[in-house]
Structure 1
């Protein structure tokens, strides 16, 4: 038996089955042990470290080059900062939009709680009346609409897309088929979704901006979209603490663009921002390394020198986990910094010119404000127009210096509350009167009080602007239309009813009960519509405030007190107490604020509120100063636009974003006379001794143009030097008349052709060459006789006039002006140095040049306030009338020193009354440049005492 057991055991052990069984047992033991080790012994450790790795290549932007002035003073640089980004790591599901929008909304709340703001480079914002409005127009708007509706080309836009309103675009992007920004009334379905619901309009725009930016990245996984830049340490901390709730949100190290003394240089340097589709397309033709995440120059030098300033990108291989967090990097290629730009500008000179311009503008205002309600401009010349103090009070409201919305807040102060209560009562009365007019009284427009004419005119404009009155359908030749617009002999009731009858009203914009409503029903709904629109309309509200001030319902003292209550001015306690105790009148108090620049010309936005000046090196064409007043803070435009600040700039009536040195064109006035003199010399009409007799009026054409001296005498016989000195119009009328003679017959066209030929020699037919945005000049194409004295349709920028007077100063070398001195790499190695570029030479004899220069010198010698200047100056004044109801433009061009010119200066004060003021302003700048006066005596931060103008209207 034992032998049998033994034999069976041996057979079993030696059998293949036994061996296989043992092997399986051993394998099972090993597996069980390994599972035990993984799940029990090291389970938690391995679970925490388990991650799905996804590899991608990531580009790293190089830092942008710096910008310096000619002396190496820093103007633009980069600063390390933290930015908040968001990546699309959300799984595609019906809840994706909801989850993503919720995350973004939460993130925005966190940012704003710590005083930070989100990027707002969307092309739609809220206007002053709280309505969605486009911030771009024309081609830029069409390109934006094409991007919104997914069209490759503007031409692919459908008609309803091309004409979509900002409101319609927002509703579309918030809608079910796009980003689903809104809320559901019941179930999660398209039929129950309401776009925008659950959020304020402001919140909608903030979320929409981020969603739209993410969309431009085509929702590529792990490509970050910047939500906010230069955020605070508090924001960094709170986002890091809540990173698990903020899926896809990260804090990244970044650089932000910073500008030194921004207000003085912003119109030149510009600012940076995220590239848009059109910019990207153009930039990629030169460098295909650009992509939609890049920051590029948007304006000014930042834009024109983009290819030099933009750094070279680096790269790295990035491994991210299943929630998009970076867990490993490799293959790092370091980016290269951009090149540094040195401008021809002198920083100190630029700042000094800006401050002098501001002080002189304040001085002109101070000299021309009078203590009255109104001033009738009909019976006075443009140089004699005055500014009523009541216009000053209203300007503080009209240009949004006083915050009207704060009147309604619980924190409103005593005078704010009192004014607001008065406004509510006045508004109720105005609405009641208008409603009575629209339904019962029906007063003809010509018989309305001026106040109600303003209101009714605004109502009609609003209906046109909102598309309720269809401009394309309105017939401007229609007799009823003429009766309303020109003859003013019908009432608004009659006009609107006629518009309805003629089908000029788009009834789809009215809340009609039926599509078959009769005229009476349509009219009633139209009136309801317009009152609904007027209810919170800021422009209409301002009109009511205007007439409350004029009627003394709101006093000047209340306006002054509100300046204190809203902390809009920083003055001593003593001055405050004088106002509070009525020790000073509101007129005196306000005049003191203007005199001390507590309230600036730019804030008032009354004439004059803007000015420009360009200073050049006459021997190179280098621009030493290019000043535009007022300026703006480009720090708030770079690194993601500050939406509130941008909206403020867009509504500012002084238009600070317009570069007045390169983008404002006006008639040059008599500063053009050196061009005409050149034409006379070159065409053989005159020589240095030729004289024409001025009797005050030129009678060869009809109506006969007059000299500025007409009515006060005449200039008599003058040669060209005397004509320039005295700015005699008749001399240049005669010369232009002779320029136009063809076979004994006067031809204005022939005269214009010759004037244009010589304007071209001075560079007045094309832009000046400066490397920033500039409007092309316009040489007159009508009335050769009047064009010879800078009238006709002559229109030039200040920088064009600077190029022109530079050519005169150096006796004929016309340079292409430049703002660029040189370019270096980050190590200081010279990459490019800008050499003077001569455009052409104006060939005159030394005697002819001397005749022009002597005349210009005598212009300045005749001005007593230049007599104490230790540097001799030659120049020419110009006064240009644009509107009989507004002051003249004041211009002055000059060069110094007279015997050996170094600099040329062109100064323009728009609506600045008289060229005399421009000449006085320029004198101070010359004093500064040649260090003739102590700077503290020259720049006092108070309005300059200008006194009365002594210059003729030339």
Structure 2
């Protein structure tokens, strides 16, 4: 037996297995020894000195360049600020854990932001409005791009049917997108888990922003900008528990006197997908977290203003704490941009516009409930005081949402209770109308028609009535359009024809019949209009008209809500009846405590462009009203943007470069130049004018009809703005071998209008509407009517060419670009578009003489030392609204230095535009100081509607 054991061990030792086993045992002993050393002998030491290092590259942003006026006055600068950022740096065992952790962490942060008065950065394409409803805040191609981003498509062409929303992605409503993103498959957000919808919405916004960087860890998304010191302290003190949330030192863009320059300068904001694709194609340093110019000069000069990025390598631990710093590449500041415009001239002109508009309003408001505009001339239209009462509601001067608050005043609560009683009645009647086929639309009361019209527009804007699907040639649709069927019949038919998107109705479309779908639609409508602030305004309109809510109550609410400050006993005088609401509001408008922009009634907008006639430099390009582009910096304040979008004064619209109207009689210098140069009239020839021009049909009239201007020459015709004279010139330009040829007349007028630059945009860098020279009716086109249509800046270039006798410039808003050290990199100046060599000196003299006589006839210029030449004009756009008022001119008359073009939209009389222009010219030449001319009070100007023609 011993021999057998001995033989076994001898064979074992000789085998390969034995050798392998010995090696394994030795390695195991070494491993055990090493583990013992690390964990037992040296464990405490290594535990104290252990750190996980993660390498990150931090982008260092260059400071954005500054924007100055022509004199070096700062218009846009950068302010040091702190931002809260978040990155997806956490480690999670499952998507469910990740969603729960991130949602809870963001919610905790939001509570702190709210406590400290800080707001999140929000560039999400859906807003939560004051009514608690989700709505798109982008449209057109931007909306399609947003939907493509939400559904994960690189192109809008890839939008398709999506089973998660139960329909086409391209037709997805705001509610559908919110539900899609909040679902378990995405952010796993339940609205019921939070105190209010706003918390749910803001978490979703931040999660969406963070999801845009899900492909790359350690890319930060900005949660909030320019936060308070309290928020900074909170984030830093809770760095260990707030995974991925940090404070970054940043700069935010600030604008000086923003409302004066907002249309020109624009604003900055987070780069969009489209902007990223465009900019990164030229410069690969752009990232999807950059702040770029979004409009105006900020956008046009983006590459100059944007600084060069730097970078820094950081090593952080698993909680994001920086352990050490690596290589650093410094950033460099962007270049500075100087504009051609004059800051002080712009601001004075803007304020003069406001004073002029306030004066017109003051003169036109009358103490009546309504006014029939169809029975009077446009220049005689009055403004009923009841329109002003309702304007306080309609143009959001008063905040309807606070009337029913616990801390509202007795007066506000009384208004609110009256509204709620009326609203209950309206909702009941609307539901009855919607569920009944008894009454055609045309047979309903005007009030109910207004309510239903709003409901249909609401269904379209909500995407329920799909406008792209509606067949506007369908017989039933046409009956609805002319009011000969009921809303019940129309909407049921729309469901039958699949014009209705039923995704937002609480009913399963697969298992429902049309009646159930329609009933669900009615419930949806009633639910929507009950909380819709715009529909509430429809109700308030009739409350005001019926004196259920009085003008006195609304005026008192101005004090209740802090719109006006009570200087003593004003509110009590209103309450007691010692002061009427009519006289109170007129006085507040006169003192510009309530501005024309706030009231939002005609006239509430205007524009003025001033040019150096010798160089073609733009000195001022003013659009009233403006807006505060500081509230658009970084991300657009959704509430503020919504208020601007619904503002009746159109503050987002550049009235100087985008608003087009007929030029009226300001066009007559073109016709005079054409007539004299083509030889159909001479400078000395007189034409016997009549009140009615009978050579064409229908017979156009002169503004002075039934009087006449007698026999006058071309200069006197410009002075008198005689339509008859210029009808005759237009007619003669149309004669072809003695026969009237309208095409020839239009062609000739177009030729001369083109010589003055009226055939093209002016060359300015910001958005500008295309001009339109008339292409029909040469006789009326000759006096600036027909379908002539130009912007104020286009008229400014035209009158500048008249002033300097034929040099037409292409404008620029830029003066120069310098680096951060002040070294000039590039200079800009207006280019000469063309010289009008076809027009003789005698023709220019005749035109200039006529324009000088125009001004001599207007008393507004009597006190000026500088001699001015100009031309007034009125342009009718809507017979139910006042005419547009225009003036173009230049000074000094003998050696022009500056030109001016002014348009007051729906400004009644051209005399009003002349009055405004005279004040601007007085200031420009130093005859009146800003302190003297800016009275902050409307002038009770005389109504010279037809004193000097149009």
Q: In structure 2, do the counterparts of structure 1 residues 566 and 752 end up closer, same or farther at CA, with 3 Å as the change threshold?
A: same
Native 8 Å contact 2:720 2:949 kept in 1: no
Native 8 Å contact 1:723 1:855 kept in 2: yes
Aligned length, in residue pairs = 916
SS of alignment partner, residue 326 of structure 2: strand
1:730 aligns with 2:734: no
What residue number does 1:76 align with?
76
Whole-angstrom CA distance in 2 between matches of 1:105 and 1:415: 37
Correspondence list, 1:780-799, <5 A: 780-799=774-793
Q: In structure 2, do the counterparts of structure 1 residues 326 and 679 end up closer, same or farther at CA, with 3 Å as the change threshold?
A: farther
Q: 1:807 aligns with which of 798, 801, 805?
A: 801
Once the two structures are superposed, residues 929-949 of structure 1 have per-residue CA deviations (whole angstroms, 9 ceiling, x without a partner) of 112124323101112222212
Q: 1:102 aligns with which of 79, 104, 120?
A: 104
Once the two structures are superposed, residues 348-380 of structure 1 have per-residue CA deviations (whole angstroms, 9 ceiling, x without a partner) of 111101111011111111110011111111101
What residue number does 1:632 align with?
627
Whole-angstrom CA distance in 1 between matches of 2:43 and 2:311: 39
What residue number does 1:827 align with?
821
What residue number does 1:458 align with?
454
Correspondence list, 1:915-934, <5 A: 915-934=910-929
Once the two structures are superposed, residues 578-619 of structure 1 have per-residue CA deviations (whole angstroms, 9 ceiling, x without a partner) of 223322111111111111111111111111111111111111
Cα offset, 1:443, TM superposition: 4.4
SS of alignment partner, residue 923 of structure 1: helix
What residue number does 2:243 align with?
247
Whole-angstrom CA distance in 1 between matches of 2:300 and 2:519: 55
Cα offset, 1:897, TM superposition: 1.0
Q: In structure 2, do the counterparts of structure 1 residues 505 and 658 end up closer, same or farther at CA, with 3 Å as the change threshold?
A: closer
Whole-angstrom CA distance in 2 between matches of 1:28 and 1:377: 101
Q: In structure 2, do the counterparts of structure 1 residues 27 and 320 end up closer, same or farther at CA, with 3 Å as the change threshold?
A: closer
Once the two structures are superposed, residues 683-710 of structure 1 have per-residue CA deviations (whole angstroms, 9 ceiling, x without a partner) of 3323322333321222222212221112
- Which stretch of structure 1 is more off in the superposition, 308-317 or 52-61? 52-61
What residue number does 2:611 align with?
616
Superposed CA RMSD in Å reads: 2.7
Whole-angstrom CA distance in 2 between matches of 1:679 and 1:199: 72
Once the two structures are superposed, residues 147-195 of structure 1 have per-residue CA deviations (whole angstroms, 9 ceiling, x without a partner) of 2222222222226122222222222222333333337xxxxxxxxxxxx
Q: In structure 2, do the counterparts of structure 1 residues 27 and 342 end up closer, same or farther at CA, with 3 Å as the change threshold?
A: closer
Native 8 Å contact 2:175 2:504 kept in 1: no
What residue number does 1:585 align with?
580
Correspondence list, 1:111-130, <5 A: 111-127=113-129, 129-130=131-132
SS of alignment partner, residue 800 of structure 1: helix
1:645 aligns with 2:640: yes
Whole-angstrom CA distance in 2 between matches of 1:585 and 1:180: 57
Native 8 Å contact 1:182 1:199 kept in 2: no
Q: 2:872 aligns with which of 870, 874, 877?
A: 877
Q: 2:937 aligns with which of 937, 942, 945?
A: 942
Once the two structures are superposed, residues 863-918 of structure 1 have per-residue CA deviations (whole angstroms, 9 ceiling, x without a partner) of 12211111111111110111011111111111111111111111111111111111
Q: 2:753 aligns with which of 743, 759, 772?
A: 759
Whole-angstrom CA distance in 2 between matches of 1:446 and 1:644: 37
Native 8 Å contact 2:872 2:911 kept in 1: yes
Whole-angstrom CA distance in 1 between matches of 2:108 and 2:533: 31
Q: In structure 2, do the counterparts of structure 1 residues 758 and 426 end up closer, same or farther at CA, with 3 Å as the change threshold?
A: same
What residue number does 1:45 align with?
48
Native 8 Å contact 1:442 1:492 kept in 2: no
Cα offset, 1:651, TM superposition: 2.2
Q: In structure 2, do the counterparts of structure 1 residues 152 and 34 end up closer, same or farther at CA, with 3 Å as the change threshold?
A: closer
Q: In structure 2, do the counterparts of structure 1 residues 153 and 471 end up closer, same or farther at CA, with 3 Å as the change threshold?
A: closer
Native 8 Å contact 2:509 2:517 kept in 1: no
Native 8 Å contact 1:273 1:295 kept in 2: yes
Whole-angstrom CA distance in 1 between matches of 2:406 and 2:949: 53
Whole-angstrom CA distance in 1 between matches of 2:30 and 2:605: 93
What residue number does 2:522 align with?
527
Correspondence list, 1:856-871, <5 A: 856-871=851-866
1:853 aligns with 2:848: yes
Q: In structure 2, do the counterparts of structure 1 residues 625 and 37 end up closer, same or farther at CA, with 3 Å as the change threshold?
A: farther
Q: 1:164 aligns with which of 172, 183, 196?
A: 172
Cα offset, 1:749, TM superposition: 2.8
Whole-angstrom CA distance in 1 between matches of 2:766 and 2:710: 46
SS of alignment partner, residue 877 of structure 1: strand
Q: 2:290 aligns with which of 284, 290, 294?
A: 294
Whole-angstrom CA distance in 1 between matches of 2:266 and 2:344: 19
SS of alignment partner, residue 285 of structure 1: helix
**What TM-score do the two structures reach when normalised by structure 1?**
0.91
Whole-angstrom CA distance in 2 between matches of 1:453 and 1:460: 11
SS of alignment partner, residue 373 of structure 2: coil
Whole-angstrom CA distance in 1 between matches of 2:85 and 2:464: 42
1:273 aligns with 2:269: yes
What residue number does 1:234 align with?
230
1:750 aligns with 2:744: yes
Whole-angstrom CA distance in 1 between matches of 2:633 and 2:467: 38
Cα offset, 1:494, TM superposition: 5.3
SS of alignment partner, residue 612 of structure 1: strand
Native 8 Å contact 1:366 1:591 kept in 2: yes
Q: In structure 2, do the counterparts of structure 1 residues 837 and 121 end up closer, same or farther at CA, with 3 Å as the change threshold?
A: same
1:61 aligns with 2:64: no
Whole-angstrom CA distance in 2 between matches of 1:779 and 1:533: 46
Whole-angstrom CA distance in 2 between matches of 1:682 and 1:641: 53
What residue number does 1:567 align with?
562
- Which stretch of structure 1 is more off in the superposition, 496-505 or 340-349? 496-505
Correspondence list, 1:9-24, <5 A: none
Whole-angstrom CA distance in 1 between matches of 2:35 and 2:462: 77
What residue number does 1:180 align with?
188
Whole-angstrom CA distance in 2 between matches of 1:312 and 1:473: 48
Whole-angstrom CA distance in 2 between matches of 1:865 and 1:719: 25
Once the two structures are superposed, residues 54-98 of structure 1 have per-residue CA deviations (whole angstroms, 9 ceiling, x without a partner) of 224333111011111111111111111111111110225221122
Q: In structure 2, do the counterparts of structure 1 residues 201 and 730 end up closer, same or farther at CA, with 3 Å as the change threshold?
A: farther
Native 8 Å contact 2:502 2:509 kept in 1: no
Cα offset, 1:246, TM superposition: 1.0
Q: In structure 2, do the counterparts of structure 1 residues 287 and 681 end up closer, same or farther at CA, with 3 Å as the change threshold?
A: farther
- Which stretch of structure 1 is more off in the superposition, 678-687 or 813-822? 678-687
